[in-house]
Structures are given as structure tokens and as C-alpha cells.
A = this chain, B = another copy of it.
Amino acid sequence: MARAANPHLKQQLVDAATEIFASHGLAVARVSDITDRAGASKGAFYLHFASKEAAYSEIARAFLDQLLVLLRTQSIAMCDACADGVPERVAQADHQFMEFLWQHRRPLAMVLDGAVGTPYASMQDEFIDSVLRHMRESISAHHRAYPQLANVIDAEFAATMATGTVFMYARRIIREHQPPFAAEHLVAFRALFAAGQSPEVAEMMRATDPTRSLLVDPAQPAPGATAP
């Protein structure tokens, strides 16, 4: 009881898979969930994708590729903006980035939440690592524009903090299905980086010993560690 060829079926399957993967996650999503939503049989799925995981990979990769293009464009704009000393342009780039995450919130949810614990967990890593690299470049540009900052604020720490903050906002987008009205937050964030010029900050940093290592015994292996 086959039906006539449907030239839109591939796109219908992609749309259905994006929604199902985003809301259930790769591991829990059933192929039958996807094909039911797309109005096709389970067999039809395998005419368009080699496997459930291949479908996930194809959709997530399309999103990550678009993200990488945006970040590359922004890194260039950011360098220009900083060299010109135009913080307003920097804030606009943040705005554009958050807008992108909001518009692509279903594939974003797939990448952040959908594949962890499966062979495609590396998609989340790629998202975070891409943002981290972008932040390193932006902050380097900032430090070139304002050399006095470089002595006070550690660039690697600032990039880690910025990326963690982006992750928290991305998480809010996909958890609360609400855009994060964070313009003022992003302004505060950029402002904070300029704060290293403060003599009070320099004084606090001199008051502690940065050579002390964080952990008592890094060589000690960790057991299940659920015992008290």
C-alpha cells in the first residue's frame, strides 16, 4: 500500500526530527515519533537517512555551520569595533548573537540537550568550544584596544566566564521558551571588563597569592565518591 512520491517528504522529516530531537533528545526520540509527525512510514525514514543518529548529525551540523559563520563575521567586526573604540558596536554584536540563538532555538536545544550520553555528545562540546574561541579573540581585541586591561584581567578567565554566561542564556532560551531580555546584562558584562582599570581591583589582586594551587592532591584518583 505504498503512496505516490512526495518531494517534500525529506523536509517534512527534517522538520519533524528537529522538533522531536529538541524536545525528547536523540536517545529517547523514537524513529516512529518522527515518522508519525511527518506522516510517513518507518521505512521511509531510511530512504532519506542512514540512521537515526545520521539524521541528528545532519540537522545539528547545519546549525553549527551557521553559528560558525556568524561567529567568524563577528570576530572580525569585534576587532574593528575595539580598534575604533566603539563599545556600542560591540553591544550590537552581542545582541545579534543572542538573536541568532533565539531564532534557532530548536536546533540549539538539540545540540545542547539532545545528544549527550550518545556518540554525538561532541556537538555540545563543539558549540561551547566555538563560543570560547570567539570570546578569546574578542577579548584579545579588547586588550589590544585597552592595553591597561591586559595587566589586570586574565584573558583566558574572561573568555571562560563569557562563554559560561552565554551558555546560561542559551539554556534559559531552550528551557523557558522565552527570549532572554538581556540587553542590560550584556551591557553590564562588557562594562565589567573595563573595570580592571580600577585601582581597588588591582589592590585586591595583589592581596592574594595567585601561585597557590587550587587543589590539595590532584594525583589522587576519584572513586564513585558517593560515600560520606
Contacts and interface: CB of A to CB of B under 8 A. Distances in A.
B153 A19 contact: no
A157 B195 CA distance: 16
Contact of A118 (B66, B117, B182, B207): B117
Contact of A188 (B19, B153, B200, B225): B153
Interface string A165-190: 11111010001001111111111111
B204 A102 contact: no
Nearest to A224: B18
Interface string A204-228: 1101101111111010001111101
Given A154-B185, A168-B167, A198-B200, A117 B28 contact: yes
A contacts with B: majority SS? helix
Interface stretch (A44-52, A105-113, A136-144): A105-113
B113 A181 contact: no
A160 B168 contact: yes
Copies in the complex: 2
Interface in A125-144: 125, 128
A99 B28 contact: no
A132 to B, nearest CB: 8
Contacts of A201: 191-192, 194-195, 198
Contacts of A71: none
B188 A157 contact: yes
A186 to B, nearest CB: 8
7 contacts: A28-B117, A59-B224, A98-B215, A103-B225, A113-B117, A160-B168, A164-B168
